[in-house]
Chain A
Amino acid sequence: MSDARGPNETSTDGAQPGGSEGPGYTTPQAAIEESTPEKVAYVMGLYVGTDVDAPDFLGVVDVDPDSDTYTEVIDRVEMPNRGDELHHFGWNACSSSCHTEGLERRHLVIPGQRSSRIHIVDTNDRRNPELTKVIEPEEVFEHDLSAPHTVHCIPDGNILISMLGDRDGDLPGGFLALDEDFEVEGRWEPPGEIEMNYDYWYQPRHDVMVSSEWAAPKTYYPGFDLDDVEAGNYGQRIHVWDWEDRTVEQTLDLGEEGLIPLEVRFLHSPEATHGYVGAALSSNVFHFYDAGDEWRAESVIDVDAREHEGWEMPVPGLVTDLLVSMDDRYLFFSNWLHGDVRMYDISDPSNPRLADRIWAGGHFGDPAPVQNRELAGGPQMLQLSLDGERLYWTTSLFSSWDNQFYPEEAERGSVMLKADVNPRRGTMQLDEEFLVDFGELPTGPARAHEIRWPDGDCTSDVWQ
């Protein structure tokens, strides 16, 4: 579809993309066929932990090549407080509710990782979104939870947020539920099901959810300390949940090869019982699947640590983000410390085949500047267009970890980059014309983190 006034231009005034009654598209294939190219991206921008006296913000980035303001941050929704560390965020509704009349994919739920404050932003006007509600930390602490991370809508209009700690920033974490009006409903699961938490993904058709483990907030907040790894303070397990019962059915210990399992991605097909999780520290990608009587997880990609001149120990790639294309054909992931983005063909989910990779920034990428801009970090949060042809990424991981591994990023700010993907050939090419420089903002250089599209994306849409 090339109609310039497709769903990307109109606000959601009742006419939903894809012709369904509710938000989103009826199937992943419909998302590919019926979507028009993305025109704006919502990107987290951060000042937390720096001396810049400004709050974090939601950035609106113009990604429409025909626009006069292409590659510029055209609007910033500032949060009311400093100190949030906006990190991951999600929609109030996704394709999982596409048959639920009356729901709209319109509000972004934006948690502060450090503050535990939760913001609701109305994107009815796509280029000028508006903050409409704030849930203060005290309300979250009341449920003995803190450090909100992943936001998914659940098919009935409610919203679920993974929480990494208890009210003191210690273990255990859990899940917080919000209702349709963004009121805190309370804890979603019976307390005590898990200790550590991080990301999660659900497949309602199979009544399953898989969650991963980072660490206690008090462990990862200050920065990365090898002593904590030795003390067993970092996670290496994933949890398979009964989605209806909200209880853990099985816990899979990934062992040493699975240290710090972060992002969890199921394939998009609602029929699929295959998914991937990236283990950041051991730099492996695990394939998990339903083997009939139980779930299994196997390491299918191993990124070798590399010697760095002048550094004492071999450096892991640090697989910090991964995503699956909407057609479930490719897996992309980032090696934040090494500096490459990889593309694997996953037609056979248990045997990923390296298709292509790009070096950009990082400690090994011989970081060539893009448009004369030195890159201060490595590839990190990824987002792919619904048609699978444009891959975008930002470079910041987490403020304290950035300062540890890429100290220059605080002064230079992050960048957002893009590669053109050819899904037929399985190739990628860095688009040298595309550079969004978060170092050039009026309030000072900012870090840039997760990316979302108004019409759903490869890291948030679920089908029922």
Chain B
Amino acid sequence: MSGSSVHETVLSWSAGHERVIGARADESVLSAAERADLALPFGCRTGACATCTGRVVDGRIEHSRPPRALKDRHLAAGYVLLCIAEPRSDCRIEVGSDVQTELVSNPWK
């Protein structure tokens, strides 16, 4: 890792723990986490399945491809797909499998 394009990215789990990783501007947050030996949930790695969903609470990310698994309401609420999300600034992101489950609820309840 070198240069100014590495962004400090704080990953925070709902259980309370946090980890800080350096994410390059040309790699996904998921890949950066894997480089740091951190397991985040994922599935398709192409932006279709939302298994890797995180929520940006601070900072800027850009998706390298269209985030097809997210609807407009999700994007507006800060949800991102970490398999195709690249940081553009230092970031703080909620991660872990329960972020994905926030996307949908039981419609009959």
Per-residue CB contact flags for chain A residues 24-57 toward chain B (1 = under 8 Å, else 0) read 0000000000000000000000001111010000
Chain B, Cβ-Cβ closest to A225: B104
Interface centre among B96, B101, B103 (most CB of A within 10 A): B101
Choose one: B48, B51, B105; the contact of A146 (CB below 8 Å).
B48
Pick from A48, A226, A308, A314: contact of B41, CB under 8 Å: A48
> Does the CB pair B42–A169 fall under 8 Å?
no
Q: Which of B48, B69, B97 contacts A49 (CB 8 A)?
A: B97
Stretch of A1-9, A66-74, A402-410, A430-438 on the interface side: A402-410
B50 at the interface (CB under 8 A from A): yes
User: Chain A: which residue is nearest B96 at the CB level?
Assistant: A51
B16 in contact (CB, < 8 A): no
B107 CB-CB contact with A under 8 Å:
yes
Contact of A400 with B100 at beta-carbon distance under 8 Å, contacts A169-B46, A221-B49, A226-B107 already known: yes
CB <8 Å contact, A169 and B68: yes
**CB of B19, distance to nearest CB on chain A (Å):** 13
CA A447 to CA B106, docked complex, whole Å = 19
Using CB atoms, name the residue of chain B closest to A166.
B48
User: Which residues of chain B are within 8 angstroms of A407 by Cβ–Cβ distance?
Assistant: 101
What residues of B have a CB within 8 angstroms of the CB of A83 in the complex?
Answer: 41-45, 51
Nearest CB in chain A to that of B104: its residue: A223
Q: How far is the CA of A172 from the CA of B48 in the complex (A)?
A: 14
Q: How far is the CA of A315 from the CA of B53 in the complex (A)?
A: 28
User: Please, which residue of chain A has its CB at the minimum distance from the CB of B107?
Assistant: A226
> Chain A binding site: helix, strand, loop or mixed by DSSP?
loop
- Complex formed: what's the CA distance from A83 to B100 in Å? 14
Cα A137 to Cα B108 with chains together (Å): 36
Does residue B39 face the partner (Cβ distance < 8 Å to A)?
Answer: yes
**B107 CB contacts on chain A under 8 angstroms:** 224-226, 313
> Which residue of A53, A227, A308 contacts B108 across the interface (Cβ within 8 Å)?
A308
Chain A contact residues (Cβ within 8 angstroms of B): what range? 35 or more
* B38 to A, closest residue via Cβ: A53
Residue on B with the closest CB to A400? B100
User: Can you name the residue of chain B whose Cβ is closest to the Cβ of A228?
Assistant: B71
In the complex, chain B residues whose CB is within 8 Å of the CB of A49: 41, 43, 51, 97, 100
Closest residue to A112 on the B side, CB-wise? B43
Q: Is the CB of B48 within 8 A of A221?
A: yes
Determine whether the beta carbon of B43 is less than 8 Å from that of A168. no
Complex-state Cα separation, A48 to B106, whole angstroms: 20
Contacts of A312 in B (CB 8 A): 108-109
Is B68's CB under 8 angstroms from A218's CB?
yes
**Complex Cα distance A312/B105, Å?**
13
A100 to chain B, nearest CB (A): 36
Q: A221-B50, A222-B50 are in contact. Are A51 and B43 (CB under 8 A)?
A: no
Q: Which residue of B lies closest to A227 (CB)?
A: B71
Query: How close is A146's CB to chain B, nearest CB, in angstroms?
Result: 7
Mark each residue of chain B from 82 to 109: 1 if its CB lies under 8 Å from any CB of chain A, else 0. Answer: 0000000000000011001101111111
A42–B36 CA distance with the chains assembled, in angstroms: 35
Contact with A along B61-78 (1 / 0, CB 8 A): 000000011110000000
Choice from A168, A308, A313 contacting B68 with Cβ under 8 Å: A168
Q: Say how far B107's CB is from chain A's closest CB, in angstroms.
A: 4
User: Contact mask B28-58 → A, CB, 8 Å, 1/0?
Assistant: 0000000000010111111111110100000
On whether the beta carbons of B49 and A404 are closer than 8 Å, the reply is no
Q: How far is the CB of A396 from chain B (nearest CB, A)?
A: 15
Cβ contacts under 8 Å, B49 to chain A: 114, 169, 217-218, 221-222
Q: Complex: how many Å from CA A49 to CA B99?
A: 10
Contact call A222/B41, Cβ cutoff below 8 A: no
In the complex, the answer to whether B45 meets A403 with C-beta atoms within 8 Å is no
Query: Across the interface, do B41 and A115 meet the contact criterion of CB distance under 8 Å?
Result: no
A249 in the interface, Cβ–Cβ < 8 Å? no
Does A165 sit within 8 A of B, measured CB to CB? yes
Residues of A within 8 Å of B100, CB to CB, are 49, 222-223, 400, 403
User: Taking CB as reference atom, which chain A residue is nearest B65?
Assistant: A168
Question: Do A400 and B101 touch across chains, with their CB atoms under 8 A apart?
Answer: yes
Q: Does A357 contact B (CB under 8 A)?
A: no
Chain A contacts of B108 at CB under 8 A? 308, 311-315
Chain A residues 221 to 260 lying within 8 A of chain B, measured CB to CB, are: 221-227
Residues of B within 8 A of A84 (CB): 43
Q: Is the CB of B104 within 8 A of A85?
A: no
Q: What are 19 A-B contacts defined by CB distance under 8 Å?
A: A48-B43, A51-B96, A85-B43, A114-B49, A146-B44, A168-B46, A168-B68, A217-B44, A218-B69, A221-B69, A222-B49, A223-B100, A225-B107, A311-B109, A400-B101, A403-B100, A403-B101, A404-B106, A407-B101
Residues of chain B having any CB pair with chain A under 8 Å = 13, 39, 41-51, 53, 68-71, 96-97, 100-101, 103-109
Other contacts beyond A82-B42, A169-B68: 9, CB < 8 A: A51-B39, A115-B45, A218-B49, A221-B48, A222-B49, A222-B53, A222-B103, A224-B104, A311-B109
